[in-house]
Amino acid sequence: MVSVYFLDSSALVKRYVAETGSVWIQAIVASKARNKLIIARLTWVEVLSAFARRQREGSFAPADAAKAIRSFRYDLDHQYRVVELSRAVVEAAGQLVGKHPLRASDAIQLASALQVLPAFASVKTVSLVFLSGDDRLIAAAQAEGLNAENPNQHQ
């Protein structure tokens, strides 16, 4: 069975910054795992924002931030499949904020995942898992029919 993971920013940051759930995320994104990894286009900005915030707060040295950005850029160009911020994604996100208590960026993440879901729905040997460190977003994803997990529940 092929596993496909949609990682929102809160899950993906764990690949580059050591925190709860990082080891679990590292196992998922490892090349030898051969998982398909999907992110929303918005994730680039959100992850860079997380790095910058950590640097401002003093928990991330400038050299570590620069290294993380280089690694993220490489992975973005070579490993991740990116869901573009299309009109369909924006329209779906607009509907999601009316149905669930989501921030705009979280609605875009969820709408991006839902955009790719039909491509995998008919293939029995593929499972799509939505990953987020936000319990509210996890609940919304599950309500929308996605298999969703919070990396914070894993060591």
What are the CA-CA distances from residue 106 to residues 58, 123, 131 (Å)? 26, 27, 12
pLDDT band at 1 (very low <50, low <70, confident <90, very high): low
Kindly give, in sequence order, each residue whose CB lies less than 8 Å from that of residue 71, ignoring residues fewer than 6 positions away.
16
Q: Residues 152, 21: contact at Cβ < 8 Å?
A: yes
Instruction: Please say if the pLDDT value at position 2 is more than 80.
Output: no
Q: Are strands 147-149 and 36-40 parallel, antiparallel or unpaired?
A: unpaired
Instruction: Please say if the pLDDT value at position 8 is more than 90.
Output: yes
Structure confidence by residue, pLDDT tens digits, 118-144: 888 777 778 899 999 999 999 999 999
Structure confidence by residue, pLDDT tens digits, 55-95: 999 999 999 999 999 999 999 999 999 999 999 999 999 99
* Summary count for the chain: helices (H), strands (E): 7, 5
Q: Residues 17, 54: contact at Cβ < 8 Å?
A: yes
Determine the Cα–Cα distance for residues 31 and 15; give it in Å rounded to an integer: 13
| Domains in the chain: boundaries | 2-43+77-153
Please give the class, per CATH, of domain 2-43+77-153.
Answer: alpha beta
User: What is the pLDDT, as a whole number, of residue 14?
Assistant: 98
